[in-house]
Amino acid sequence: MTAPDAYTVEPWGLTETSLDLDVLARAESVFALSNGHVGLRANLDEGEPHGLPGTYLNGVFELRPLPYAEAAYGQPESGQSVINVTNGKIIRLLVDDEPFDLRYGDLSEHQRRLDFRDGMLRRRAEWTSPAGRSVRVTSTRLVSLTQRAVAAIAYEVEPLNGPARIVVQSELVANEQLPAWTGDPRASAVMEAPLVAEQHTHNTDAKALLVHQTRFSGLRVAAAMDHEVDCPADFQGEVESDPDQARYSVTTVLQPGQKLRLVKYIAYGWSAARSLPAVRDQVAAALTAARFTGWDGLVNEQRQYLGDFWKRSDIEIDGDMELQQAIRFALFHVLQAGARTEERAIPAKGLTGPGYDGHCFWDTETFVLPVLTFCLPDAVAQALRWRHSTLPLARERASQLGLAGAVFPWRTIRGEECSGYWPAGTAAFHIGADIARAVERYVRASGDIDFERDFGMEILVETARMWRSLGHHDAEGLFRIDGVTGPDEYSAIADNNMYTNLMAQANLRAAADSATRHLHEAGALGVDTEEMAGWRDAAAAMFLPYDDKLGVHCQSEGFTNHEMWDFDNTPPEKYPLLLHFPYFDLYRKQVVKQADLVLAMQVRGDAFTAEEKARNFAYYERLTVRDSSLSACSQAVIAAEVGHLDLAYDYLAEAALMDLHDLGGNTKDGLHMASLAGACIALTAGFGGLRDHDDHLVFRPRLPSGLSRIAFSMMLRRDSLLYVEITPSHATYELRQGDSMTLMHDEEEVEVVRGRPVSRPIPRPVPLERLHQPPGREPARRHAQSGPNVGSGAEPALHDADL
């Protein structure tokens, strides 16, 4: 089954109608459930076969050494890798002593469906054992968005062709055996048996608990389970535990038409500081609360939470059902990644897989938080408070590098730098400005002045200090930032990267403005008027490289003088280039891994004229190979802005379908959260023309020929909800919460009052000649999808009645 054919196309869910054992790991990522604190990969209930087992707790990691061929000052000595914690998903089934194993017997039906509206994964299977006994198995799994420590599974088994002796074994399993590492640097490092047992307990009913500590990082992890059983026949239940496993077994004999129903409640907790009794009792309390709420209560809470979310956050698309599904899939997973992080990082893969070792990158602030800012602002505040909590480590790193202020890590889980390759890691200083930009955006959109005063300003101040010490004024008075790596990792250690300099410029100005608004708190940080003036001077004198001959901005100083990469003689199988060519060769050629200058035009569009954007985009389009999933979304935004609407549509689809079509070939390691979030940005900022560079939201909407309508909502200052609807001829702005607001439509100032929608015309787009990309790296042309796998929007086959 190829990736595009794996799932039905429907507007509010994702259904897998058959099981392909060769791509289990991919489906385990796609159907993963999370709330930002607990993450469950969509492994089969019975645990085997599996692609990659995965149960994750945000912030739980193990330490591993970072070996170097040669020692060098400032290199991180230890890395952090997310680990597979105690697995509470497993529910094994034996039918007349034969295990329910899909590799044996006959599987006549298998269907799984993820519903975006209630956040539950449903499964239905009909299986005949090698001995000829047939059963129907249904299950529903959820990770609670309202009770952060809790997950639950409702599991049913029913014999179909005669009486059957049924044994159901519900388990907690620690230190599961994992597949061997593939060698792909994008995948996770594997660590065997990272958990050391501390305590295991069970009672005489149906409850059990395991407590472990990570072997080197010293984190304490507890997992507990409890059960409810509904069975029309007599049954026997018993529970047992040992250091790495706990099991609750239910035995009965069922007749056709009778069902054994098991509801399993699972609770997780962890701490770096609290004692064993404290962590154990926390998990026990979460389990008690889940039992008190009950299965129906958890389901109702989940539906209400998601109902509220979709009312304020849905993105509607007319004209492309597959894209509509992909965008809601993206929003759902971005929500899952950030909903309950509560001062923890949002990893690049969320909690859907171990890719990139579970690290958080600049992806979070640049792609994920802009989406959450307008639909789940509390999650943004939590994510930025986590960054604030790591400031002591960032200051320590800056001091180690001989810099003032704070240097945030390129990749991390807890706050320490975990990148062992300094040209792409340590030298990517732009992450400081990315975080600062996220602070500025959140405060402006939410009006949360308390956050700015108590958390945001300190981040802005310390990153501004870093820029002031990293850069310098040259003999002509220009402020230069030399020897850094921008977003394009194929151009490392460059002077005056355009993106970096523009973001640093905004960072310096934002710090001075924030300190001016909060003079008392800024004074407590040692900020004085002289330092603020120095920041403003550096921002005003920032060097922005430009090639007068070509009439384009340089990605970095001298970039346009580099030799062109030989695209014509680079065959398709040699992509991604980083896996087939040495970095030194990439660094000295004109070839772009991912949008860099193009991203600068997206986030600092105020620094470019319309003509500059068009020329720059055309130039860098023929150099960009998109060896990163972070590229297509930004190319979509700028393509739409400069008038290449159908090209923008192609890039939007690439970003949105990155995981559903497994375009990168590594969805098995976890979903691409930045690409998913970027697809939402491509719609709102690309075809919606949304820009938030200042206090007024600006819209410049345009639609490609393939779409007849888009609509989206935005939360503003916590009490306003703006609804935007765009057709090929008009844009309509409606304030559904709040009193009034002012926005810009194209160049016109528009006042929007609640209850009085305002419509404005959209100019007809001028057709442009399609731009060229590197040979073989063109985005797939997008056409509205149709065919036998496209759903009609009717209710799916798998729903609550199946349980």
Active site residue 198: no
Helix (H, G, I), strand (E, B) or coil at 645: helix
Helix (H, G, I), strand (E, B) or coil at 629: coil
- Which residues are registered as beta bridge partners of 191? none
Chain centroid offset of residue 693 CA: 24
Q: Which of 136, 124, 129 is nearest to 160 (CA)?
A: 136
Contact (CB, 8 A) for 480 and 422: no
264: tokens are 């399993």
653 vs 632: CA distance, rounded Å = 9
Q: Which of 716, 735, 736, 733 is nearest to 724 (CA)?
A: 733
Cα 149 to Cα 143, 207, 222, 322, 774, distances in angstroms? 9, 16, 11, 33, 48
Sequence-distant (≥ 6) Cβ neighbours of residue 651 within 8 angstroms: 632, 633, 635, 636, 639, 682, 779
396 vs 402: CA distance, rounded Å = 10
Sequence-distant (≥ 6) Cβ neighbours of residue 538 within 8 angstroms: 467, 468, 471, 473, 479, 505, 508
Helix (H, G, I), strand (E, B) or coil at 644: coil
Task: Give Dmax (Cα) for the chain.
Answer: 90
Q: Which secondary-structure segment (H or E) carries 151?
A: strand 150-159
| Residue 576: cis peptide before it, omega within 30 degrees of 0 | yes
Query: For residue 163, what is the DSSP state?
Result: -
The catalytically annotated residue of 46, 156, 489, 654 is 489
Sequence-distant (≥ 6) Cβ neighbours of residue 786 within 8 angstroms: none
Q: Residue 79: is it exposed, middle or buried by C-beta count within 10 angstroms (0-12/13-18/19+)? A: buried
Active site residues: 489
